[in-house]
């Protein structure tokens, strides 16, 4: 019977279903509920068919189900060829294929689809746990594949798993060679589906009351930074993000284009050198400490010191940065800039405007005015909370005069409004403040929960100056981070709160591992590939060179593995006694007497002795000794060695 | 010690049967291994003389049964005859109740009679009229057989041949031996002059010594390789049976002892293979079977000593 | 294919294959599957696997999935490894011809191949095929041997040889197809087809050796006489003996000891050679089953009467090898 048409054992079907379930499991949370339900139903149906050895459902029924599902997916996602809809389609097709799977041929196709489905999981997550889980899944799939190949005896799943494990382990060296040396191409080959990057969290280009505090519950990492020298003090860790100029009374908005002007800045003090790895957030900002000295290519530095990448940050990006903690903005404020920095919508927040006018009149200059406002925040019972009351159409008024409880964005917004109303140019800057030093990996982790908003105001002769009104209310926020600032009762990510030391250590180790994973595995790009080559002494690496080295190394690795493997098919090493005797015979053969394989040792020694009378005594001694050891009744542990010694002493031809 | 005794036996026989030392040694080995012997050849080459001489030299009680087509089982085993005096049936033992039986021209008898003999050989006892009677110890059967293509014979079936430990062929004597034969006295006249070279107790001791000869696992490997080859090779009609393997081992032990060794060597096994294997292994694909010697040479050549 | 070029194409292809696959006709003795005897190519599934890997690689490049690269390369290395493993599954196997029982024409000849595994590795799913359609599989345990039986329909009387057998495996992943050709020198004797009808055995004849079938009357029961040594036991009147009349020998007209000759000339010439051989075959089987001593006479060969299995085989073999053209 031809192998391809061979029917499947229930055990084989069982393992395949198991592998399929494992590979689909991580997708379940992303699938529409009805697709999950359908897939589970089809799976159970298939188990039922196998269990009771029933017939497969008719083809037309499967077509109807397929057609209906495709329609449903189109309605749900609005497209068929996106990332999510594609994966959903694949899952559905796989489940339907199950009900068509009768022969080995179909099962093999399913196994390959399983492998393919593994890779779709990486579109969503490439963390260490995902990698480990999917490695396990690959193991199960490979074991299933091995199970399909038995034609006679089924040695059982233990054997399958052991072989699959061995096969995968033996594949690791070659995989490493290919991974390190396969010439990487940067950038997508074709356009990515539009939904490829949805679902990432991060700062937005708008800020309205409550928008930043949404990030507070997220322990997702925003960026990691490794400093060349010491990590700056916490109150200097202002990670500059979107700068917002425009206020409509409720929401602050960053301009999408960015300011094109180049500004003269006087930087002083030691430059801070560090490397940032920013997580993808689908926006164009690259974060840097106040104040960035330059932008990493191909990004550019705008007039308001944002770093804008030419395209949304769709993948983890790493760049070297230099910043200066002390700086002075010397340039003049252009009139259109001034106009923008003072603009307030008419009729919004009228009480705040009135308050600002009153307070500005009471002080001498802009700087004194700003100090007075900050003093107001700290003296009146303003209250820092991560769960502020909801605000209505005039949020600044409500905040300043009634609720008096808020989060950084409230303070920044209110402060900027008061400044503008008092005739001082002001803008809101959002970004991250602080971060956690990971002493295991010696780097700084900044999470989404560290999101922050502050203001910058323009003072004549001083230029733009950073003023953080939150610090006036809650100095802890800036000095020690959000956990110290927020009341204990409020919910924050566990990571942000203090904890047991061992737990913290474990968490930091894990984060450090994640960081290394990100740096070494996930961020292994063409650039790093060439760096590695340079370090290995290969200058001017081109992809041709890489490919050549890759092929050479891959061949070498395969040869070595092949030789090790083939060792096991060789005949077993003979008994040491026989080995010694064979050497003796080989020596005699060079003397001109060849032993026939079926010639007994005594007969041979007699013949050899007759041919070479000069050696007869030696030949007979050795033969008799061998005969006694091999066929005699007295066993001797050292006999083989003694025989070998005698054979070695036997004269060579 | 045993070696000298056995050499003496062989020497005595060789004085009667000229130029056939190898066959003589084989037949002595066969008897020492407590096996039965089949001598097959055309009439007149000295089959019966060899059997006679063997019995005489070993000093054993000897009976000759001439097999004819009218020989009945009872003629061999014995009959119960009604004894008028005692009013009971009394068993008159047949010629089989002796230590050495010469079954002359065994293939002349009917299969029924043949199987009566062969059963007795196998079981070392006779069951007649519901009573089981043991045969004497030692008990040897030396059967002679004419080549099967002669008319009016019932060649022993292959399954029965297996009961004989060895089969030997005498063949024509070489020129020197034949001249000596022609010049010398009648062989049969020499027989009464033979004196037993072994006492019954000595024979029993030698037989016990045969069983004590050491067999190493290396030798068993070789034996198994031989048997395995005969079973797998397409050259043979059917492979050697486990009984044949046991026969090889027993005969090899006897041979080793005759060679004065206390352990079996591959050479010993090779020496007895022609006798043991010749009537058990048949070359396939040929309508005329190769004689025993060629089959065994074939086998020995083909299997390397492990 | 190119129809007009069919024959030359086949010829060139034949040369090419003989050169590439080292086909040198049947080999006596056993064959050890050494490296140059084993060929390996991706199987149909292997090609599917390669395509799937290509898709995965493109996806990984496009989405810049580092783990996608890891997975693709791991699976690629797995594929390369499976070449080695599949090759290893055949390597160093020793194939020897096994025993073949003669068969009658119309039956299946069963050729036995003995696979010896000298290593410590179990060889699973080693396949055997002659025509590429029917496949049989065996497992060869470590340091042991296993036998595979290839059934081939015996369609013609005479000697049947299995010809070139392909030994192959896809183990362990089914991605590669490793194969070797084994052209062993094995023959199976195919006896003539047994005639379906059961014609009665010919009558025993009085004088052997004169080649003419005698008519009836020769075996007429003529009476009993007292037994004398040398009489065939088959002719003893056992029933009479049982009645206590002593041993009596049945006497037939003609010779006392008649013999059954199965003679070519006793079969009607109108049947044709094969049918005549079929009838003789039938007779040999029947005579053997009846435990009768019988002889066979066909042109060029005469086998003396004898009973038993050996005689049956001798006669059948002679019938199988009978060459009508060669005989006078």
Q: What is the pLDDT of residues B37-95, one digit of tens each?
A: 988 877 777 888 888 888 888 888 888 888 888 888 888 888 777 778 887 777 888 88
Q: Which residues of C fall within a CB distance of 8 Å from A554?
A: 80
Q: Which of A408, A410, A450, A511 is catalytic?
A: A408
pLDDT at C211 over 60: no
Tell me whether residue A246 is one of the annotated catalytic residues: no
* Cα separation, C94 vs C118, whole angstroms: 8
- Write a three-state SS string for A590-633: HCCCCCCCCCCHHHHHHHHHHHCHHHHHHHHHHHHHHHHHHHCC
Lowest mean pLDDT across B158-167, C254-263, C297-306 = C254-263
* Cα separation, B37 vs B170, whole angstroms: 13
Torsion (CA) C253, C256, C260, C263 in degrees, nearest 10: -60
Interface with chain C: mutation pick from B112, B240, B284, highest number of C CBs within 10 Å: B284
Better-scored residue on pLDDT, C133 or A574? C133
Give the 3-state secondary structure of residue A475: helix
Number of H helices, E strands in chain B: 13, 9
All structural domains of chain A with their residue ranges: 3-149, 206-345+425-485, 526-568, 576-649
B217-232 helix and B292-302 helix, angle to the nearest 10 degrees: 120
pLDDT at B288: 41
Better-scored residue on pLDDT, B93 or B152? B93
Q: What mean pLDDT comes out for the span A5-26?
A: 84
* Cα separation, A284 vs A302, whole angstroms: 12
Whether C88 sits inside 8 A of A167 (CB atoms) is no
pLDDT tens profile B175-201: 888 888 788 777 777 777 778 888 888
Q: Which residues of B fall within a CB distance of 8 Å from C314?
A: 287
Structure tokens, A233: 């003090």
Whether B152 sits inside 8 A of C314 (CB atoms) is no
Quickly tell me which residue has 């298939």 as its tokens.
Answer: A46
Q: Which residue of B has its CA nearest to A597?
A: B304
Q: Which residues of A fall within a CB distance of 8 Å from C69?
A: 179, 182
pLDDT tens profile A114-149: 999 999 999 888 889 999 999 999 999 999 999 888
Q: Do the Cβ atoms of B296 and B278 come closer than 8 Å?
A: yes
pLDDT at B284 over 80: no
B87 Cβ neighbours under 8 A, 6+ residues apart: none
DSSP 8-state symbol, A53: T
Q: Which residues of B fall within a CB distance of 8 Å from A575?
A: 218
Better-scored residue on pLDDT, C105 or C5? C105
Q: Which residues of B fall within a CB distance of 8 Å from A603?
A: 267
Quickly tell me which residue has 């497209």 as its tokens.
Answer: A79
> Assign residue B34 a region: left if phi > 0, alpha if psi is -120 to 50, beta otherwise?
left
C58-74 b/e (C-beta count within 10 Å ≥ 16 → b): ebbbbbbbbbbbbbbbb
The enclosing H or E element of A641 equals helix A639-649
Better-scored residue on pLDDT, C193 or A332? C193
CATH number for the region B2-202 comes to 3.40.50.300
Rounded alpha-carbon distances, angstroms, from residue A468 to A337, A371, A449, C124 = 21, 11, 18, 74
Q: Which residue of B has its CA nearest to C315?
A: B287
pLDDT at A424 over 60: yes
Better-scored residue on pLDDT, A541 or A28? A28
End-to-end CA distance of chain B: 32
Burial class (CB in 10 A: 0-12, 13-18, 19+), A545: middle
* Cα separation, B252 vs B265, whole angstroms: 8
pLDDT at B233 over 80: no
pLDDT at A194: 55
Between chain A and chain C, the number of residue pairs with CB atoms below 8 A apart is 171
Mean confidence (pLDDT) of chain A: 84
Distance in Å, alpha carbon of C187 to nearest chain B alpha carbon: 9
Q: Which residue of A has its CA nearest to B266?
A: A600
pLDDT at A493 over 70: no
The enclosing H or E element of C69 equals helix C66-90
A169 Cβ neighbours under 8 A, 6+ residues apart: none
Tell me whether residue A585 is one of the annotated catalytic residues: no
* Cα separation, A45 vs A47, whole angstroms: 5
All structural domains of chain C with their residue ranges: 22-191, 258-321
Q: Which residues of C fall within a CB distance of 8 Å from A3?
A: 127, 135, 170
Whether C173 sits inside 8 A of A138 (CB atoms) is no
User: pLDDT exceeding 90 applies to what percent of chain C?
Assistant: 18
What is the Cβ-side half-sphere exposure of residue B226, based on CA atoms within 13 angstroms?
32
Q: What mean pLDDT comes out for the span A36-46?
A: 88
Is the omega angle on the peptide bond into residue A340 within 30 degrees of 0, that is, cis? no
Whether A561 sits inside 8 A of C143 (CB atoms) is no
- Strands A252-254 and A206-207 come out as antiparallel
Beta-bridge partners for B214: B263
pLDDT at C229: 58
Structure tokens, A560: 């070595």
DSSP 8-state symbol, A443: E
pLDDT at A383 over 70: yes
Q: Which of A290, A397, A450, A468 is catalytic?
A: A468
pLDDT at B286 over 80: no
For residue A6, report the phi and psi dihedrals to the nearest 5 degrees: -65, 140
Whether B234 sits inside 8 A of C186 (CB atoms) is yes
Better-scored residue on pLDDT, B110 or C219? B110
- Strands B37-40 and C31-32 come out as unpaired
Better-scored residue on pLDDT, A461 or C170? C170
How many other C-beta atoms can be found within 10 angstroms of the C-beta atom of residue A305? 22
Interface with chain B: mutation pick from C30, C99, C110, C118, highest number of B CBs within 10 Å: C99
Give the 3-state secondary structure of residue C105: coil
Q: Do the Cβ atoms of A84 and A91 come closer than 8 Å?
A: no
Better-scored residue on pLDDT, C307 or C140? C140
Q: What mean pLDDT comes out for the span A347-365?
A: 86
pLDDT at A390: 80
Confidence of residue C234 (pLDDT cuts 50, 70, 90): low
| CA-wise closest residue to C233 among C252, C221, C250 | C250
pLDDT at A77: 84
- Strands A221-227 and A443-447 come out as antiparallel
Q: Which chains form contacts with chain B, at 3 or more CB pairs under 8 Å?
A: A, C
Q: What mean pLDDT comes out for the span B276-302?
A: 69
Does this model's pTM top 0.80? no
Interface membership of A383 toward C (CB under 8 Å): no
Q: Which residue of A has its CA nearest to B221?
A: A631
Is the omega angle on the peptide bond into residue A291 within 30 degrees of 0, that is, cis? yes
Domains B2-202 and B213-302 share a fold: no
> Assign residue C272 a region: left if phi > 0, alpha if psi is -120 to 50, beta otherwise?
left
Interface membership of A551 toward C (CB under 8 Å): no
Is the omega angle on the peptide bond into residue C20 within 30 degrees of 0, that is, cis? no
Interface membership of B214 toward A (CB under 8 Å): yes
Quickly tell me which residue has 């030997």 as its tokens.
Answer: B168
How many other C-beta atoms can be found within 10 angstroms of the C-beta atom of residue A247? 23
Residue B24 CA to chain centroid, in angstroms?
A: 11
pLDDT at C199: 75
For residue A233, report the phi and psi dihedrals to the nearest 5 degrees: -65, 160
User: For the domain with range B213-302, which CATH number is right: 1.10.3080.10, 3.40.309.10, 1.10.8.80, 1.20.1250.20?
Assistant: 1.10.8.80
Whether C80 sits inside 8 A of A171 (CB atoms) is yes
Q: Which residues of A fall within a CB distance of 8 Å from B298?
A: none
pLDDT tens profile A87-108: 888 888 888 888 888 788 888 9
Give the 3-state secondary structure of residue A58: coil
Burial class (CB in 10 A: 0-12, 13-18, 19+), C183: middle
Whether B152 sits inside 8 A of C231 (CB atoms) is no
pLDDT at C188: 86
Q: Which residues of A fall within a CB distance of 8 Å from C72?
A: 119
Q: Which of A84, A452, A511, A585 is catalytic?
A: A452
Structure tokens, A164: 């699959």
Tell me whether residue A9 is one of the annotated catalytic residues: no
Q: Do the Cβ atoms of A175 and C76 come closer than 8 Å?
A: yes
For residue C247, report the phi and psi dihedrals to the nearest 5 degrees: -80, 125
* Cα separation, A287 vs B243, whole angstroms: 91
pLDDT tens profile A152-171: 777 888 999 999 999 999 99
Nearest CB neighbour to C88, from listed A142, A186, A566:
A566
Interface with chain C: mutation pick from A12, A87, A115, A158, highest number of C CBs within 10 Å: A115
User: pLDDT exceeding 70 applies to what percent of chain A?
Assistant: 92
pLDDT at A554: 94
pLDDT at B290 over 50: no
pLDDT at B167 over 80: yes
Beta-bridge partners for A292: A323
Better-scored residue on pLDDT, B158 or A284? A284
Q: Which residues of C fall within a CB distance of 8 Å from B284?
A: 99
Structure tokens, C25: 């006709």
For residue A292, report the phi and psi dihedrals to the nearest 5 degrees: -65, 140
C20 Cβ neighbours under 8 A, 6+ residues apart: none
Nearest CB neighbour to A152, from listed C49, C125, C173:
C125
Q: How many residues does chain A have?
A: 653
* Cα separation, A111 vs C87, whole angstroms: 22
Distance in Å, alpha carbon of C40 to nearest chain B alpha carbon: 30
For residue A379, report the phi and psi dihedrals to the nearest 5 degrees: -85, -45
Q: What mean pLDDT comes out for the span A603-622?
A: 89
Q: Which residues of B fall within a CB distance of 8 Å from A632?
A: 214, 216, 263
DSSP 8-state symbol, A25: G
Between chain B and chain C, the number of residue pairs with CB atoms below 8 A apart is 55
* Cα separation, C210 vs C64, whole angstroms: 97
Whether B70 sits inside 8 A of C114 (CB atoms) is no
Mean confidence (pLDDT) of chain B: 82
Nearest CB neighbour to C58, from listed A168, A175, A189:
A189
How many other C-beta atoms can be found within 10 angstroms of the C-beta atom of residue B54? 27
What is the Cβ-side half-sphere exposure of residue A605, based on CA atoms within 13 angstroms?
17
* Cα separation, B108 vs B104, whole angstroms: 9
> Assign residue A341 a region: left if phi > 0, alpha if psi is -120 to 50, beta otherwise?
alpha
DSSP 8-state symbol, B174: P
Structure tokens, A153: 């005896």
Rounded alpha-carbon distances, angstroms, from residue B185 to B56, B181, B189, B190 = 18, 8, 7, 7
All structural domains of chain B with their residue ranges: 2-202, 213-302
How many other C-beta atoms can be found within 10 angstroms of the C-beta atom of residue A34? 12
Interface with chain B: mutation pick from C190, C236, C310, C315, highest number of B CBs within 10 Å: C310
* Cα separation, B57 vs B36, whole angstroms: 17
pLDDT at B4 over 70: yes
CATH number for the region C22-191 comes to 2.60.40.10
Interface membership of B265 toward A (CB under 8 Å): yes
For residue A394, report the phi and psi dihedrals to the nearest 5 degrees: -110, 75
For residue A31, report the phi and psi dihedrals to the nearest 5 degrees: -85, 150
pLDDT at C24: 64
Distance in Å, alpha carbon of B68 to nearest chain C alpha carbon: 7
Q: Do the Cβ atoms of C179 and C166 come closer than 8 Å?
A: yes
């Amino acid at each position: 019977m031809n192998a391809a048409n061979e029917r499947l054992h229930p055990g084989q079907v069982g393992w395949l279903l198991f592998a399929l379930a494992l590979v689909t499991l991580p997708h379940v949370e992303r699938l529409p509920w009805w697709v999950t339900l359908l897939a589970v139903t089809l799976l159970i149906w298939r188990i039922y068919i196998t269990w009771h050895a029933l017939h497969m459902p008719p083809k037309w029924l499967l077509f109807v189900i397929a057609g209906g599902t495709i329609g449903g997916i189109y309605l749900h996602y609005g497209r068929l060829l996106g990332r999510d809809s594609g994966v959903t389609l694949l899952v559905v097709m796989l489940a339907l294929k199950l009900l068509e799977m009768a022969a080995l041929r179909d099962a093999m196709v399913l196994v390959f689809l399983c492998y393919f489905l593994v890779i779709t999981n990486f579109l969503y997550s490439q963390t260490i746990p995902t990698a480990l889980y999917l490695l396990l899944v690959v193991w199960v799939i490979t074991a299933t594949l091995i199970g399909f190949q038995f034609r006679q005896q089924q040695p059982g799943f233990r054997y399958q798993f052991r072989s699959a494990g061995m096969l995968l382990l033996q594949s690791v060296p070659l995989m490493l060679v290919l991974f390190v040396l396969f010439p990487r191409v940067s950038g997508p080959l074709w356009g990515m589906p539009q939904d490829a990057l949805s679902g990432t969290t991060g700062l937005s280009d708008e800020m309205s009351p409550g928008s930043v505090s949404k990030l507070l519950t997220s322990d997702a990492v925003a960026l990691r930074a490794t400093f060349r020298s010491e990590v700056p003090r916490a109150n200097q860790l202002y990670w500059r993000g979107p700068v917002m100029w425009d206020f409509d009374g409720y929401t602050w908005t960053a301009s999408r284009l960015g300011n094109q002007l180049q500004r003269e800045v006087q930087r002083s003090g030691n430059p801070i050198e560090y490397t940032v790895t920013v997580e993808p957030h689908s926006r164009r900002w690259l974060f840097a400490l106040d104040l960035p000295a330059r932008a990493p290519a191909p990004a550019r530095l705008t007039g308001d010191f944002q770093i804008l990448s030419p395209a949304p940050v769709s993948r983890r990006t790493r760049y070297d940065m230099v910043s200066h903690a002390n700086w002075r903005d010397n340039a003049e404020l252009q009139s259109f800039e001034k106009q923008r920095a003072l603009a307030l919508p008419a009729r919004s927040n009228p009480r705040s405007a009135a308050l600002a006018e009153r307070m500005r009149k009471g002080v001498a200059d802009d700087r004194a005015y700003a100090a007075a406002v900050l003093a107001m925040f700290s003296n009146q019972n303003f209250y820092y909370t991560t769960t502020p009351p909801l605000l209505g159409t005039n949020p600044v008024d409500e905040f300043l005069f009634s609720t008096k409880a808020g989060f950084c964005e409230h303070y920044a917004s209110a402060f900027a409004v008061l400044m503008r109303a008092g005739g001082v140019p002001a803008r809101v800057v959002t970004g991250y403040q602080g971060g956690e030093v990971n002493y295991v990996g010696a780097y700084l982790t900044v999470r989404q929960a560290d999101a922050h908003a502050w203001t910058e105001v323009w003072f004549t002769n001083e230029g733009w100056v950073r003023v953080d009104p939150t610090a006036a209310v809650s100095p802890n926020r800036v000095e020690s981070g959000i956990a110290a600032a927020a009341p204990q009762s409020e919910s924050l990510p566990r990571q942000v709160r203090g904890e047991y030391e061992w737990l913290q250590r474990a968490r930091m180790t894990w984060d450090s591992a994640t960081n290394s994973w990100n740096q070494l595995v996930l961020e292994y790009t063409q650039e790093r590939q060439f760096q590695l080559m340079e370090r290995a002494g290969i200058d001017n690496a081109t992809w041709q060179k890489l490919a050549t080295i890759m092929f050479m190394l891959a061949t070498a690795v395969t040869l070595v593995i092949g030789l090790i493997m083939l060792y096991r098919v060789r005949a077993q090493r003979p008994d040491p006694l026989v080995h010694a005797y064979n050497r003796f015979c080989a020596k005699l053969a060079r003397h001109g007497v060849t032993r026939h394989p079926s010639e007994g040792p005594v007969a041979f020694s007699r013949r050899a002795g007759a041919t070479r009378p000069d050696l007869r005594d030696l030949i007979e001694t050795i033969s008799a000794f061998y005969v006694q050891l091999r066929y005699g009744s007295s066993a001797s542990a050292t006999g083989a060695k003694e025989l070998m010694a005698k054979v070695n002493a036997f004269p060579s031809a | 010690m045993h070696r000298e005794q056995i050499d003496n036996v062989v020497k005595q026989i060789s004085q009667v049967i000229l130029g056939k030392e190898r066959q003589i040694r084989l037949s002595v080995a066969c008897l020492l291994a407590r096996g039965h012997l089949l001598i097959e050849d055309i009439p007149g080459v000295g089959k019966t003389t060899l059997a006679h001489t063997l019995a005489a030299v070993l000093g054993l009680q000897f009976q000759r049964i001439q097999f004819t087509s009218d020989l009945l089982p009872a003629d061999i085993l014995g009959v119960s005859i009604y004894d008028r005096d005692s009013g009971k049936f009394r068993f008159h033992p047949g010629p089989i109740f002796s230590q050495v039986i010469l079954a002359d021209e065994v293939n002349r008898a009917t299969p029924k009679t043949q199987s009566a003999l062969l059963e007795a050989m196998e079981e070392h006892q006779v069951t007649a009229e519901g009573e089981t009677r043991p045969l004497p110890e030692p008990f040897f059967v030396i059967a002679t057989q004419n080549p099967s293509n002669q008319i009016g014979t019932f060649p022993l079936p292959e399954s029965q041949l297996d009961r004989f430990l060895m089969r030997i062929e005498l063949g024509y004597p070489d020129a020197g031996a034949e001249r000596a034969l022609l010049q010398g006295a009648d062989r049969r006249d020499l027989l009464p002059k033979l004196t037993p070279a072994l006492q019954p107790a000595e024979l029993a001791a030698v037989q016990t010594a045969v069983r004590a000869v050491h067999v190493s696992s290396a030798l068993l490997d070789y034996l198994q390789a031989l048997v395995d080859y005969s079973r797998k090779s397409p050259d043979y009609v059917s492979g050697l049976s486990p009984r044949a393997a046991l026969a090889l081992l027993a005969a090899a032990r006897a041979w080793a002892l005759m060679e004065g060794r206390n352990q079996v060597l591959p050479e010993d096994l090779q020496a007895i293979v022609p006798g043991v294997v010749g009537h058990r292994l048949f070359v396939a694909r040929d309508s005329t079977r190769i004689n025993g010697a060629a089959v065994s040479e074939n086998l020995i050549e083909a299997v390397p000593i492990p | 294919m190119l129809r007009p070029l069919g024959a030359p194409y086949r010829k060139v292809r034949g040369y090419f294959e003989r050169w590439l696959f080292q086909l040198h006709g049947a080999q006596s003795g056993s064959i050890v599957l050494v490296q140059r005897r084993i060929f390996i190519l991706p199987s149909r599934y292997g090609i599917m696997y390669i395509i799937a890997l290509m898709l995965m690689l493109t996806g990984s490049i496009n989405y810049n999935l580092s783990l996608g690269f890891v997975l693709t390369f791991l699976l690629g290395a797995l594929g390369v490894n499976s070449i080695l493993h599949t090759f290893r599954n055949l390597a160093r196997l020793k194939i020897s011809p096994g025993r073949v029982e003669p068969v009658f024409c119309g039956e299946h000849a069963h050729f036995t191949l003995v696979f010896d595994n000298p290593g410590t590795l179990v060889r699973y799913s080693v396949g055997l095929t002659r025509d590429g359609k029917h496949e049989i599989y065996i497992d060869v345990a470590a340091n042991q041997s296993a036998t595979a039986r290839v059934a081939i329909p015996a369609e013609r009387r005479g000697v049947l040889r299995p010809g070139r057998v392909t030994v192959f495996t896809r183990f362990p992943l089914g991605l590669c197809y490793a194969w070797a050709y084994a052209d062993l020198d094995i023959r199976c004797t195919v006896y003539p087809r047994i005639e379906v009808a059961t014609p009665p055995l010919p009558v025993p004849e009085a004088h052997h050796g004169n080649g003419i079938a005698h008519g009836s009357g020769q075996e007429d029961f003529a009476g009993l006489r007292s037994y004398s040594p040398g009489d065939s036991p088959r002719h003893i009147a056992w029933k009479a003996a049982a009645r206590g009349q002593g041993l009596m020998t049945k006497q037939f007209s003609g010779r006392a000891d008649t013999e059954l000759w199965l003679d070519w000339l006793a079969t009607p010439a109108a049947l044709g050679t094969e049918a005549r051989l079929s009838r003789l075959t039938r007779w040999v089987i029947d005579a053997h089953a009846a435990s009768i001593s019988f002889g066979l006479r066909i042109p060029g060969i005469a086998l003396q009467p004898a009973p038993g299995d050996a005689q049956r085989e001798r006669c059948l073999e002679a019938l199988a090898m009978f060459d009508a053209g060669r005989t006078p």
